Structure 1
Amino acid sequence: MDTLFPLLSPSELVIAAMIAVIAGFVKGVVGFAMPLVFVSGLTTFMSAELALAGLILPTLITNVQQALRQGVHAAVQSTVAFKIFLGVGCVALLTTAQLVRIFPDQLMMAVIGVPVTFFAALQLAGYQIILPRRSTVVEVAAGAVAGGLGGISGIWGPPTVAYLTALNTPKQDQMRVQGVIYGLGAVALLVAHVASGVLRADTIAFSVAMVLPAFIGVRLGMRVMDRIDQVMFRRATLCVLLVAGLNLVRRAAFG
């Protein structure tokens, strides 16, 4: 155990696996927020850098699972439809990933938590931002913000969800599009953090260990998602964003 996981005790590894199941379940229900739950939970007893390393492989595997749930053809269509968002986001992610090792943990949490909390609270209060049509300018901006946050923290869900929600994307389409976007982003994240040094010999075993618990959680969450309607799906999505955002703000303020 000590050889495989030199940075964690056995009890910490068990707790991390439980958090991975919960994070996967939330993702299975609403299509995102696994990195948010991962980072929020794991950083209560480990560094943000190690938490980021731990979520890289589970994020990649579960997003491939989500993207391909309706088949390869549907996933390819989603990729083509959101090619601008994906391209801009990938460039932003690869650029900002190199800042991880010099970016203070609490500042990282504040950068994610404050806008997440604001967006979710605004939406739950009944204020909805609806885009009547696709705009290249908005798509570029959303991709840049999502990719930038993803490179620094491994969390690019909130800007992506905000954009898809503003487009009034149907539930199943939104789940698949999120899987495609986050899956391709996860590949970029993997490459970026091999280069940044976050994913290395003493952290990759932890990331591998988190794959199975996260996968199980996603499978359970998908069963729940299939049984809820569009309105409940939207509210569940926003509630998850609000709780995760508030927790990150708390961690940023109090450590």
Structure 2
Amino acid sequence: MEMQQLVAVAAVFVVAGTVKGVTGLGLPTVAIAGLSLMLPLAQAAALLVLPSLLTNVWQYLRCGVAWAVWRRTRGLCLGIVAGAWLSPLPEVANAGPWAQALTGGLLTLYGLAGLLGLRLPPPGRHDTWIGPAMSLATGALTVASGVFVMPSVPYLQSLGLNKDALVGALGLTFTVCTLCLWISLGAGGVRTDAFAASAAMLLPALAGLGLGAFARQRLSEAAFKRGFQIAIGALGLTMVLRALPSMGGA
């Protein structure tokens, strides 16, 4: 990786870490969206593994209700693993233009849903089948696209968890998704060199977390989240538009 590209990649992780520092989520989402404009999707997904894993473990452990979160979401976590293992979709390590379009589409959908204030209704008594369906879909889409937010985040938001439990649940489920992605990438041949590059991105991501924590005290979180949703939707749409010509020629 050339120096200019390395600086650009590090800048993406600073921005991604800042978003996570303010909102509690968004590091892998921002990282995938930004890196995929410069790098192949599989390489972008490999780079985010360690920053995503360690920041999400930290977020889960410091939520203050880690054991209660585990009991509430362990079925979801096991379903994510099952969905990743049983996924009929090609893995991101073998990504072609369709995977870029899928990732872009998921990000665009996530951005639009946030802007429009769309939320899933509480699952209630239907959670016995909605929960497993959401977890299986999240696992399958994680290993196919490197994106963790759909449909896990809308589902968790629908459960009516308090703030601490929601932050912890996001940290735990994103940790599980990251591990599934890591195993998937290893099976696809992304190993030592990608691991070292991912480790090198820890410092920019942690610097961003610090900036985000600082900014959270001074910015309107609602305004920040709105800007985040707009940026993610725009990046996702850009990814789709870039992938379409290649898909047509395939």
TM-score by length of structure 1 reads: 0.83
Q: Which has the larger displacement, 126-135 or 242-251?
A: 126-135
Among 36, 61, 64, the alignment partner of 2:29 is 36
Residues 169 and 241 of structure 1: is their aligned pair in 2 closer, same or farther, counting only changes over 3 Å?
farther
Amino acid at match of 1:46: L
Residues 101 and 185 of structure 1: is their aligned pair in 2 closer, same or farther, counting only changes over 3 Å?
closer
CA distance in 2 between partners of 1:157 and 1:42 (Å): 17
Among 28, 45, 55, the alignment partner of 2:48 is 55
Amino acid at match of 1:206: A
Amino acid at match of 2:144: I
Q: Is the 8 A contact 1:113 1:244 kept in 2?
A: no
1:180 counterpart = 2:172: yes
Q: Is the 8 A contact 1:75 1:176 kept in 2?
A: yes
CA distance in 2 between partners of 1:174 and 1:238 (Å): 19
The 5 A counterparts of 1:85-96 are 85-96=76-87
Residues 49 and 169 of structure 1: is their aligned pair in 2 closer, same or farther, counting only changes over 3 Å?
same
1:160 counterpart = 2:166: no
Partner of 2:8: 15
Q: Is there any run of 5+ residues in structure 2 with no aligned partner, and where?
A: 244-250
The 5 A counterparts of 1:178-217 are 178-198=170-190, 200-217=191-208
Q: Is the 8 A contact 1:67 1:178 kept in 2?
A: yes
Q: Which has the larger displacement, 181-190 or 122-131?
A: 122-131
TM-score by length of structure 2 reads: 0.84
| Alpha-carbon shift at residue 125 of structure 1 (Å) | 2.9
Partner of 1:138: 130
Count of paired positions = 241
| Alpha-carbon shift at residue 239 of structure 1 (Å) | 4.9
Partner of 1:3: none
Percentage of identical aligned residues: 28
CA distance in 1 between partners of 2:108 and 2:224 (Å): 14
| Alpha-carbon shift at residue 179 of structure 1 (Å) | 0.6
1:247 counterpart = 2:235: yes
Residues 224 and 145 of structure 1: is their aligned pair in 2 closer, same or farther, counting only changes over 3 Å?
farther
Q: Is the 8 A contact 1:33 1:241 kept in 2?
A: no
| Alpha-carbon shift at residue 161 of structure 1 (Å) | 1.4
Q: Is there any run of 5+ residues in structure 1 with no aligned partner, and where?
A: 1-7
CA distance in 2 between partners of 1:158 and 1:224 (Å): 26
Partner of 2:67: 76
